[in-house]
Structures are given as structure tokens and as C-alpha cells.
Amino acid sequence: MPELPEVETVVRTLAPQMLGRRIEAARVLHEKSLAAGKALLPRLRGARIESLHRRAKLVIIELRPAHGGRLFLLFHLKMTGRLFVHGEQIEPCKHTRLVFVLGDDAGHDSDGKGRQLFFDDARKFGYCRIMRDKDFAHWDFWNSLGPEPLMCSCEEFVARCRERRGKIKALLLDQTFVAGIGNIYADEILFRAGIAPQHAVLCLSSAQFGVLWEQMREVLREAIEHCGSSVRDYRDAHGNAGAFQNSFRVYGHAGRPCRACGSILEKSVVAGRGTVHCPNCQK
Ligand SMILES: [Zn+2]
């Protein structure tokens, strides 16, 4: 599943291809891919794309509809969702679930050609929601999200850790604790912090939480710089793979020697997820 660095990369690669354009039409090819806001579909016509950003693992596209107000297109890519901007002549493929036809009136950046935003999703777990400002208040998932890991101060992070119980890896994966970290980055962060994934949160010191906070930021920043990780089929909005998988120290390396100490990396199940760690470097 694309995690924070992959979704950030998708947003960064989508933005220059979409900003300033207007939506001319929207086609729903698979009903369930539009999880909310069906009644708002007619308001998309003529809406201008104002900005793109990311929150947790969500792609958020802010729109200015023709008749005023604000609308948002939110995408959760889940397992296999992808967002691509294509030329106006391209036909949807068998995995295309939603199509947004984009006009060519992007001002001085316009190349005079229409484009289309495709939401492709082979496994169909991903979704799009069309939202008004007031809809956010009633969306439990949105309201439950923890802070962004790159915006959360060390003090806040440590204080939040202190309120929790359970295993440290489960905590990192919990989107209500911090938002955007998944299985890959949880393993990489814990390796760099020298903390075993199954370690009880209760038994960790404030100093260890501080190191965890530091390494969390380091790993996520580095991964964003490398345009994310392509383990299976993740691609950015240009169709390019990320490169951070080449920097993995533990994820996918079970049974191989640790790069730091040479011990054999162990595979286990923590928080219901396949987990790899070094029994020597992580305590
Ligand atoms: Zn090691």
C-alpha cells in the first residue's frame, strides 16, 4: 500500500499537470470507487483546480466550482490505486474506475490540449470522495487521524507515546496515533531507532521515544527525496517507480545479514503484519 512518502510523491507529480485546469466532465466507471459525494458530481463541471496536497495517505485536490464555494476531491489509493494524467485521446483501461476530463485553460502554462485524470484501481479497495467543507466534520475517519509525523513536535510525540499501551510497531501503524506510516516505514524506522518492533510502549524511555521521533522524520524525509518506494506496483503520476526500496535496511530482507552488524535478520508477525528486524541492533 502506498504510504506517506508515496502519496506525497503522487501529489507532487500530479500538481504541475493539473493546477489551474478546469474539470469539464467526470465519468464513474465503477460505482463503488466513488465512496461519497455522488450528488455533488454535477458541481464538478467547470470547477477550477486550485491546489493539491496530502494528509495522511490521502490525496486532496481543492476545487473552486463555477458557482462559488469550495469542493474537494479526496483519493485513498489503498492497495493498488493510481492517479495518472493522460492526453485527451487515451481510452480508459480495464482497471480505470473514474475519469475526470480536464480542460486546457490553464492560463500561461496551457499547451492548448485537454487532459484526463484517471483513477485506476485493479483491486478496487481505493476510493474517491467528493466533499464540501462541512462534510469533513461528519467524516469519522478524517476526524480520527493523528498528527502528520513531519509536523508533530518531539514534545507532542513523546507525550502521545506516554498515553499509549501495546507494542511499539502497532503504535506506529495506528493512524490515530500518527497518520501516514504503514508496514514498510514502521520496520525501517524501528530499525534505525534500534528498538525491537514487539517492544512494549510502556517500557520505553523518553530518550528512546525521542530517538524514534528523530528516525521517523529522517526515514520519511529520505523516502520522499527518493520519490517513495516501489515494492510491488506503486508508480508516481508520471508512471515512474520510486527508489527508496534500494535503501531498505530490513523490509524484505528477512534471512539476510544485517547491514550494520551481520546478524541474520528475523521475520515475525507483530501487530498482525509481517515484520523484519535485527535481533542484535534492535532491543
Ligand atoms: Zn544488526
**172 neighbors 178 (Cβ within 8 angstroms):** yes
pLDDT (0 to 100) of residue 93: 95
Q: Cα of 279 to ligand 1 centre, how many Å? A: 7
Q: Do 183 and 135 belong together in one domain?
A: no
Tens of pLDDT, residues 102-130: 997 655 555 667 899 999 999 999 999 99
Name the catalytic one among 12, 164, 217, 273: 273
Q: Do 14 and 136 belong together in one domain?
A: yes
C-alpha cell at 246: 534500494
Q: Cα of 189 to ligand 1 centre, how many Å? A: 14
Q: Which alpha helices (DSSP H) does the chain contain, by range? A: 4-18, 41-44, 133-136, 140-144, 154-162, 168-173, 183-193, 206-225
Determine the structural domain holding residue 140 and report its residue range.
Answer: 4-144
Question: For residues 237-272, b (16+ Cβ closer than 10 Å) or e, as one string?
Answer: beeeebebbeebbbbebeeeebeeeeeebbeeebbe
pLDDT (0 to 100) of residue 90: 93
The β-bridge partners of 96 are 120
C-alpha cell at 175: 493512524
Q: Structural domain tally of the chain?
A: 2
Q: Do 160 and 267 belong together in one domain?
A: yes
Q: Choose the final residue of a domain: 144, 176, 210.
A: 144
Q: Is 282 inside a domain boundary?
A: no
Tens of pLDDT, residues 138-182: 999 999 999 999 999 999 999 999 999 999 999 999 999 999 999
Q: Is 132 inside a domain boundary?
A: yes
Q: Is 262 inside a domain boundary?
A: yes
CA 183, CA 196: separation in Å to the nearest integer? 14
Q: Please state the separation of Cα 29 from the chain's center in Å.
A: 23
Q: Is 226 inside a domain boundary?
A: yes
Q: Is 168 inside a domain boundary?
A: yes
Q: Cα of 248 to ligand 1 centre, how many Å? A: 13
Q: Cα of 101 to ligand 1 centre, how many Å? A: 51
pLDDT (0 to 100) of residue 239: 87
- Our answer to whether residue 273 is catalytic in this structure is yes
Three-state DSSP at 252 gives coil
Percentage of the chain modeled with pLDDT above 90 = 91
Q: Choose the final residue of a domain: 110, 126, 144.
A: 144
Name the catalytic one among 22, 57, 235, 249: 57
CA 23, CA 216: separation in Å to the nearest integer? 37
Name the catalytic one among 3, 6, 8, 188: 3
Q: Do 79 and 11 belong together in one domain?
A: yes
CA 237, CA 255: separation in Å to the nearest integer? 34
Q: Do 84 and 116 belong together in one domain?
A: yes
Q: Do 78 and 113 belong together in one domain?
A: yes
Q: What is the CA radius of gyration of the chain?
A: 20
Q: Cα of 188 to ligand 1 centre, how many Å? A: 12
Q: Cα of 48 to ligand 1 centre, how many Å? A: 51
Q: Choose the final residue of a domain: 144, 168, 191.
A: 144
Task: Find the mean pLDDT for residues 81-94.
Answer: 94
Q: Is 179 inside a domain boundary?
A: yes
Three-state DSSP at 178 gives coil
- Our answer to whether residue 57 is catalytic in this structure is yes
Q: Do 124 and 162 belong together in one domain?
A: no
